[in-house]
Structure 1
Amino acid sequence: MGSELVEMGKSAEHTSGAQDPDGSIHTPSRTLDSPHTPSRTLDPSHTPANACCFCWCCCCSCSCLTVRSAKEEKTMTTISEEQEEADIEQMPQLTLEEVQSWGESFECLIKSAQGRSHFQQFLKSEFSEENLKFWLICEDLKKETNKTTVEQTVKQIYEDYVSVKSPKEVSLDSRVREVIHNNMQEPSTCTFDEAQQQIYVLMQRDSFPRFMNSSMYADLLQSFQTPSES
């Protein structure tokens, strides 16, 4: 009976922890590979709310952030296209005379709200709509009078259409880029004047003739033709 009590005492001592000479007892800590310790990396449901779907740290280089940015960009593009369609619907009814007047000169086309809209659709089919958008936003810049707004707009135009890192970069020669660089030291409504003129000439000599000879313009003219009586 005495030996059994001794063995039970040893078993209890092993379970509760080792006893130091000073009488204190240390309970063994549970190791990381213990079957009772949940693995944080194996259960995605425990991922923090601000972390991405693949990692615990939410860093700027994470791939899922890039995906979200792409989705946001696609959403903004869709909103822009819907706005353009809404603007077209609100324009005055187009007439055959106005459509024919576009063929007289590029100036007639670009002065017409309907002409710019149809021309932009053509440029979009050629993946060069940024040229017209750049020209138009420079026109808006010239009308701005608030200095702070001018400075902010100039910076935004540069980032969107002049920076080599932008996907909407317009084609400008080195001389004009140097002029812009100098003008950026003191932003004004005239910062992009030479660049705007260069893009105007580019559209006039290159894109405009193709638009006039395109099926898009021909179909638009045809839509005004009165069906012949049978």
Structure 2
Amino acid sequence: MCKGLATLPATCLKSAKDIKHKISFLLQKPEPQAVDQREIKERSATAAAKRLPDTTDVEKWKESFSHVMSNEIGRRVFTTFLKSEFSQENVDFWIACEAYKNTPPSKMAAKAKEIYQQYVEADAPNEVNLDAATRDKTRQEVEDGSSSCFDEAQKMIYTLMEKDSYRRFLKSKVIQDLCQKQTNCAPEKKGCNWADNRQVLAGGA
């Protein structure tokens, strides 16, 4: 130990160590604003997850597939249905493509490769149903670093869901149960079991 420090009282050395520890802690502590924003996002996500679809939601979903996909609860209910058909990868891929469009340019190449390996390439863990030409074109555009590399593949999967899965979704037990429970759970009726609706969202068709 340094001779100068050795002559200091033990209490002074302890105080110096405490101050150093506090400074280190403050440097590691996230900015209050960042913490607040994270908490707001988490609360919003939790609130959306708890919210149940109302009659207006369901009626809009019946009007068009775009209403389903543009509505957070609609996507959640549709995903529940796709799980029952073992085709959840389609909506997951579409959502991943939407998120990719908002990826910072510096991270796009890595993100594109990740999405391609997860959903597009042959024998991918969650391979979506694409024809060989679209798959090859997407691979080439990912390699070229194109920011629109998934546009064609995403459009194809969207059309597939709209023409195929969506039609079955409208006739599924998920929608039938929601419509029935919404009818039975009119505001003037008491004792309505909203837990049943949550079970519909969590379960299959």
> Could you say which TM-score interval applies, normalised by the shorter chain?
0.5 to 0.7
Q: Which amino acid aligns with 2:145?
A: P
Q: Which amino acid aligns with 2:83?
A: K
With over 3 angstroms needed to count, the CA separation of the structure-2 counterparts of 1:88 and 1:129, relative to structure 1, is farther
CA contact (8 A) 2:121 2:135 kept: no
Q: Indicate whether 1:98 and 2:53 are aligned.
A: no
Within the candidate set 108, 113, 121, 1:163 is matched to 121
Aligned to 1:5: none
TM superposition outliers: structure 1 runs of 4+ over 6 Å: none
Within the candidate set 160, 168, 171, 1:210 is matched to 168
Q: Which amino acid aligns with 1:134?
A: F
Q: Which amino acid aligns with 1:195?
A: A
Separation (CA, whole Å) in 2 of partners of 1:123 and 1:150: 28
With over 3 angstroms needed to count, the CA separation of the structure-2 counterparts of 1:87 and 1:126, relative to structure 1, is farther
Aligned to 1:26: none
CA contact (8 A) 2:79 2:91 kept: yes
Secondary structure (helix, strand or coil) at the match of 2:183 reads coil
Q: Which amino acid aligns with 2:163?
A: R
Aligned to 1:199: 157
Map 1:129-140; keep pairs closer than 5 Å: 129-140=88-99
Aligned to 1:49: none
Aligned to 1:31: none
Secondary structure (helix, strand or coil) at the match of 1:143 reads coil
Map 1:179-198; keep pairs closer than 5 Å: 179-198=137-156
Within the candidate set 107, 128, 134, 1:149 is matched to 107
CA contact (8 A) 2:109 2:142 kept: no
Separation (CA, whole Å) in 1 of partners of 2:121 and 2:159: 20
Q: Which amino acid aligns with 2:140?
A: N
Aligned to 1:120: 79
Report sequence identity in percent.
Answer: 36
With over 3 angstroms needed to count, the CA separation of the structure-2 counterparts of 1:214 and 1:136, relative to structure 1, is same
With over 3 angstroms needed to count, the CA separation of the structure-2 counterparts of 1:153 and 1:227, relative to structure 1, is closer
With over 3 angstroms needed to count, the CA separation of the structure-2 counterparts of 1:178 and 1:127, relative to structure 1, is same
Q: Which amino acid aligns with 2:108?
A: V
Structure 2 length as normaliser, TM-score? 0.65
Structure 1 length as normaliser, TM-score? 0.58
Higher relative contact order structure (alpha carbons within 8 Å, sequence separation ≥ 6): 2
Moved more, 158-167 or 123-132: 158-167
Separation (CA, whole Å) in 2 of partners of 1:122 and 1:116: 10
- The alpha-carbon deviation at position 165 of structure 1 amounts to 2.7
Deviations 1:192-229 (A, max 9, x none): 10000000000000000000001111001111113699
Q: Which runs of 5+ in 2 are unaligned?
A: 1-41, 190-205
Flag the structure with larger Rg.
1
More helix by share: 2
